[in-house]
Amino acid sequence: MSRDSKKRRLLYYNDSRHTYMYSYDPPMTLEEAWSPVDEVAGTAVGTFIYGSGAGPAVMHDSKSGEVWGRRFEKFDSAWSWRAYENVKSLIDAGYDPLNLLIDRAHDKGMDFFASLRLNHPMDPADVDNPFNWQFRMEHPEWCLTGEGKHSFNWVYPEVRAERFAYIEEYLTQYDIEGLELEFTFCPYYFEDDEAERNAPIMTDFLRDVRRLADETAAKRGRPLEIGARILPTQAGNLTQGLDVAAWIQDGLLDFVAPTIYQDHQVDANLPFEWLVDLAEGTDCHVYPTLQRAVRGLDIADNRFNPGSLELHASIDQLRAGAASFWDRGADGIYMLFLKWPHGPEQRTIFTEAHDPDLLRRKPKSYVVRRHDDLSAQFGYESQLKATLEEGEGPQTVRLYLADDPTQATATLRLRLIWSTTIDRLTLHVNGNPLSLDAARRTQLDAYLAAWLELELPSDTLVHGWNEISLSLDARPAGLGATIVWEGVEIDIEHPTPRASFGMP
């Protein structure tokens, strides 16, 4: 039968662990077992994606692989014990936990995709770790020795066959609409100097998956989609042996979702346009990942460096990311790991993110993400943090706006570490010089940093890419500390009538 992959507007991923199997004390009730689906039911989430287990072992009644915790008699943590007992309690009651979620998603009007993590690093000798699994412990000779040490080396047919057994079970034994292959968690599949030349091995693996999906779909009489969560840049994927261009051009995928698994920063500038260009004229859709967090205040004097501190993104920051994605050619929005339990803000973004018309006049906050070492390793660079040195010329940051700035008010927010009111700074926005004399200054942590906030003239910004440049012209002679520019946000507000009294 011919493939007819539909364009999905909003997809949401649950990893089965942190807000689910780890969190409930056993035995798990049916209401608790349904909770991942029920938490997004009644919103615009149309596709529920579920990653059963951490990859090595799954959290459902698999007959093809290892089930979480079955090789243990005692657990060293409450969360790992909870997961084992919850899965066991449902199976003992006659349920397959995966089927419970599939049926619940269908009852609530959602399609269901299983998601399979394709690699996971774990020392085969660490036999007491619940993230290890028997297959790895029995075959340390098939593990990588370089950058991705202890991950499996996919040059070995046995390694590929072990993952394929899970794939075959998902596609042939469960009533799902599709399968996502998760390439981004620990994305090491070949030895460091062999990855690019071994890319055809992974492409052939994808070809086998596609063939099985199409054969199974023909027997079922309805399509089975195959998607892939991939790294954000083409070069980053290629260096790991993932030839995404070949996968798309050869018709192996129905969708791609670019992301970095461990870098959770929301990024309205996520570089996915290369995928839009590759997918043009194909059946493959592009669903960029709208992450959930922003980075907190960093400290620049080496006393303490919480650079990885993550704060939940606001609804305005999520709106800005979704609007930017739609404006730059996304076919849908992929979301994951929002603040839990989901409250009114999370439910609201689940009802808005799928439709650029609903986002158009909503308040937004466009944020520039900060540097992340892992992301940079795969070519996903950031413009911040940047240092401002006296007389060294400007630092420039680019930021995409999906809004029409002439129809809204815009506030520029700059976060600076070690700045003072005596510093002389020069600001340009799209080449236009702007005085910071009227900027409102808000100290952070009393003395460590400050926000500078400046309302921008309506003709300063443009719909599309904008450039913000900042330079340090002078600062007190006895102050040698470098100014660190670590934050840029543009807040957009559209004029909205408001009632000041209760309507009759």
Determine the pLDDT at residue 226.
98
pLDDT digits (tens, 9 = 90+) for 469-484: 999 999 999 998 899 9
Judged against a pLDDT cut of 90, whether residue 323 lies above it is answered with yes
Q: What is the 3-state secondary structure (H, E, C) of 298-364?
A: CCCCCCCCCCCCEEECCHHHHHHHHHHHHHCCCCCEEEECCCCCCCHHHHHHHHHCCCHHHHCCCCE
Strand 47-51: give its sheet, edge to edge. Answer: 285-286, 255-258, 225-230, 178-182, 111-117, 47-51, 10-14, 333-336, 289-290
Nearest to 121 by CA among 101, 146, 100, 95: 146
Task: Tell me, yes or no, whether 86 and 223 share the same domain.
Answer: yes
Q: What residues have CB less than 8 Å from 343, skipping those under 6 apart?
A: none
pLDDT digits (tens, 9 = 90+) for 163-184: 999 999 999 999 999 999 999 9
Asked whether residue 377 is domain-assigned, the answer is: no
Task: Tell me, yes or no, whether 324 and 411 share the same domain.
Answer: no
Mean pLDDT, residues 403-428 taken together: 94
pLDDT > 90: percent of the chain: 89
Task: Tell me, yes or no, whether 337 and 416 share the same domain.
Answer: no
Asked whether residue 66 is domain-assigned, the answer is: yes
Asked whether residue 203 is domain-assigned, the answer is: yes
Judged against a pLDDT cut of 90, whether residue 304 lies above it is answered with no
Task: Tell me, yes or no, whether 209 and 351 share the same domain.
Answer: yes
Asked whether residue 378 is domain-assigned, the answer is: no
* Residue for token pair 């349920």: 95
Task: Tell me, yes or no, whether 20 and 139 share the same domain.
Answer: yes
pTM higher than 0.85, yes or no?
yes
Asked whether residue 375 is domain-assigned, the answer is: no
Task: Tell me, yes or no, whether 99 and 19 share the same domain.
Answer: yes
Asked whether residue 4 is domain-assigned, the answer is: no
pLDDT digits (tens, 9 = 90+) for 30-73: 999 999 999 999 999 999 999 999 988 999 999 999 999 999 99
Mean pLDDT, residues 223-232 taken together: 98
CATH number for the domain spanning 306: value is 3.20.20.80
Task: Tell me, yes or no, whether 160 and 127 share the same domain.
Answer: yes
CATH number for the domain spanning 453: value is 2.60.120.260
Judged against a pLDDT cut of 50, whether residue 451 lies above it is answered with yes
Which of 312, 331, 362 is the C-terminal boundary of a domain?
Answer: 362
Q: Which helix (H) or strand (E) holds 111?
A: strand 111-117
Asked whether residue 311 is domain-assigned, the answer is: yes
pLDDT digits (tens, 9 = 90+) for 348-405: 999 999 999 999 999 999 999 999 999 999 999 999 999 999 989 899 999 999 999 9
pLDDT digits (tens, 9 = 90+) for 76-134: 999 999 999 999 999 999 999 999 999 999 999 999 999 999 999 999 999 999 999 99
Task: Tell me, yes or no, whether 293 and 228 share the same domain.
Answer: yes
Asked whether residue 329 is domain-assigned, the answer is: yes
pLDDT > 70: percent of the chain: 96
Domain that holds residue 227: 10-362
Determine the pLDDT at residue 299.
60
Of the listed ranges 100-114, 141-155, 301-315, 453-467, the one predicted with least confidence? 301-315
pLDDT digits (tens, 9 = 90+) for 248-297: 999 999 999 999 998 999 999 999 999 999 999 999 999 999 999 998 77
How many domains does the chain fold into?
Answer: 2
Task: Supply the mean pLDDT for the chain.
Answer: 94
Determine the pLDDT at residue 221.
96
Task: Tell me, yes or no, whether 152 and 21 share the same domain.
Answer: yes
**CA 490, 491, 492, 495 torsion-angle sign:** negative
Determine the pLDDT at residue 4.
59
Q: What is the 3-state secondary structure (H, E, C) of 135-180?
A: HHHHCHHHECCCCCCCCECCCCHHHHHHHHHHHHHHHHHCCCCEEE
CA neighbours within 13 Å on the CB side: how many for 504?
A: 0
Task: Tell me, yes or no, whether 450 and 309 share the same domain.
Answer: no
Task: Tell me, yes or no, whether 297 and 329 share the same domain.
Answer: yes
Determine the pLDDT at residue 303.
44
Task: Tell me, yes or no, whether 409 and 355 share the same domain.
Answer: no
